[in-house]
Amino acid sequence: MSGLLPHHLFADPIRSALATTHSHFAVGDTLARRYPGDVAPFATLSAPSVAAMEQLQSLLAAGEGIWLFGNDLPSIPGLEITDHMPGLQMGLPHDIEPPEPAASLAALSEAQADEMVALTDLAFPGFFRRCTWRMGSYWGVRSPTGRLVAMGGERMKLAGFAEVSAVCTHPDFRGRGYAESIIWQVVRKQRGDGVRSFLHVGAGNAKAIALYERLGFVRCREIVITRVLAW
């Protein structure tokens, strides 16, 4: 099902997003581009070359880490490869109709940024930032006391596609169908925008993969993202 997410766009969706729909976020030039640090910890290279890595280094502060697609990056002084994370790209076939969400959802934006960062840090620390909400629409579920206990929304956007991302539920509130309701809300919004839904998930996150497959998402390709640290 790799054709569901075309290779020319999804071999490096960060590059595709920053060159098109998310070009207003792009910091850098044709050799290396990144999202602002308070938006997302992602960057892209025009090619895995020494020149591109040197340009990337100029975009990073000392001590800052950032993630790129692929695992074949040249080494240069001042940048250290610190981690590789295998994952999956999954897409939702267009013939699957998203049902109405079962849970009561509230829109989230700048006013809830601190709450969103705190919740996502329980699941994937450092990936959701203070201004990540600017990348798309987000929704959440609150407990009877008003606490944000589940959320999700959109991250990368590229021509014809939008990512479902930051789907997480506080451990005390799992098993209530909140994640499913949020995913369908995001998908419904993306269908209304005329784009197709995709997502990324860690290869070892068996529970999340099982949920996505139950909802109809299909595995399209295996990926690796690499973290580099500036010093």
| Domain extents in the chain | 2-86, 90-221
Tens digit of each residue's pLDDT (9 = 90 or more) over 129-173: 999 999 999 999 999 999 999 999 999 999 999 999 999 999 999
For residue 224, give the DSSP letter: E
For residue 28, give the DSSP letter: E
What is the per-residue pLDDT for 186?
A: 97
Give the amino acid at 218.
V
Low-confidence ranges of the chain (pLDDT < 50): none
Q: What percent helix, strand, coil does the chain show, rounded to 5? A: 30, 35, 35
pTM over 0.85: yes
What is the per-residue pLDDT for 2?
A: 64
What is the per-residue pLDDT for 3?
A: 83
What is the per-residue pLDDT for 124?
A: 94
What is the per-residue pLDDT for 154?
A: 98
Give the separation between CA 169 and CA 162, rounded to whole angstroms.
Answer: 21
**3-state class (DSSP) for residue 21:** coil
Q: Answer yes or no: are the C-beta atoms of 219 and 102 closer than 8 Å.
A: no
Place of tokens 């602002």: 36
Q: Which fold has domain 90-221?
A: Aminopeptidase (3.40.630)
H-run or E-run covering 186? helix 178-192
What is the per-residue pLDDT for 32?
A: 98
Contacts of 58 (CB under 8 A, 6+ apart): none
Give the separation between CA 163 and CA 184, rounded to whole angstroms.
Answer: 13
Angle between helices 178-192 and 206-215 (to 10 degrees): 50
